[in-house]
Amino acid sequence: MATFTLAQIDALDAILRAASTSEIMPRFRQLADGDIREKTGPLDLVTEADEAAERQITAALGRAFPGCVVVGEEATAADAGLLDTLADADLAFVVDPVDGTSNFAWGMPLFGCMAAAIVRGEVVAAVIHDPVVGMSAMALRGEGAWNREADDRRNDMRVAGPVPVAEMTGAANWRFLPEPQRSRVGRNLDRVSVSFGYRCAAHEYRLLAAGRCHYLLYGKLMPWDHAPGWLLHQEAGGYSAQFDGRPYRPTVTGGGLICTPDEASFEALREALLGG
């Protein structure tokens, strides 16, 4: 597999930061009613910031990485066939220009700008940028995960240590689970210590990789939502798999995902939340 270098991930981070500065933050808490639209429902929104930032990021990636494929959330909403390019592309990027769009549209500072580099179907680099505080969480396959502060200081990221299920804190996003799985997970959440939801995978994965919680559970697996955070968690020392135990792949959008500190924690949490 071709490598993705520190210089290249720095370039990716700079692209996300630039779009955040020029297209996202100037629109935060400044959106007019006509700047916000529903896609599939009241919790699935798109704003002028999403579209403008994705256009800028896509153009910048094309200049920095000639010949790359860019699969953005908003572009894929218009052309679902873009997803089919991920498996075989020599270099592809998945981009979520504003993850947590509902929060952004409602003026809540819980959103992120994120992207992952994918080489022939394998996630090799990830950046999750927080435009509000200017911090980026970054990961390179085989090289670890770290936070880059606004002043360029680097702090390595590490997942929390394993604890019993009854002491676990994290996010269980059961909204897109099929029945009867959805109801089963809802009933079983009292088996963990805390379950929260930020409506923003960017911030949930950052908390997990930094050791501030123990687990995440997701049903729907669009690659721009999960490829960046999945690699961040892996490189911070975590373990994850789909509900049936298969490894996560950015080309698969169903089958659920559980992320935990280690494999034993995965097995215990899967049984607690998905079992009888």
3-state secondary structure of 149: coil
Contact 86, 249 (CB under 8 A): no
Go through the chain and tell me how many residues it has: 276
3-state secondary structure of 175: coil
Task: Determine the pLDDT at residue 2.
Answer: 52
CA angle 183, 178, 199 (to 5 degrees): 80
Contact 113, 95 (CB under 8 A): no
Q: Which domains does the chain have, with CATH numbers?
A: 6-156 (3.30.540.10), 165-274 (3.40.190.80)
CA-to-CA dists, residue 47 to 26, 50, 53, 89, 200, angstroms: 13, 5, 10, 29, 15
Task: Determine the pLDDT at residue 276.
Answer: 72
3-state secondary structure of 188: helix
Joined together, the tokens standing for residue 57 give 């990021």
Task: Determine the pLDDT at residue 153.
Answer: 92
Contact 237, 158 (CB under 8 A): yes
Per residue of the chain (276 residues), what is the pLDDT tens digit?
Answer: 457 999 999 999 999 999 999 999 999 999 998 999 988 777 778 999 999 999 999 999 999 999 999 999 999 998 999 999 999 999 999 999 999 999 999 999 999 999 999 999 999 999 999 999 999 999 999 999 999 998 999 999 999 999 999 999 999 998 889 999 999 999 999 999 999 999 999 999 999 999 999 999 999 999 999 999 999 999 999 999 999 999 999 999 999 999 999 999 999 999 999 997
CA-to-CA dists, residue 201 to 96, 125, 128, 252, 257, angstroms: 10, 17, 10, 17, 13
- What does the DSSP 8-state code read for residue 23? I
For 102-129, letters b (16+ CB in 10 Å) and e give bbbbeeeebbbbbbbbbbeeebbbbbbb
Joined together, the tokens standing for residue 110 give 């819980």
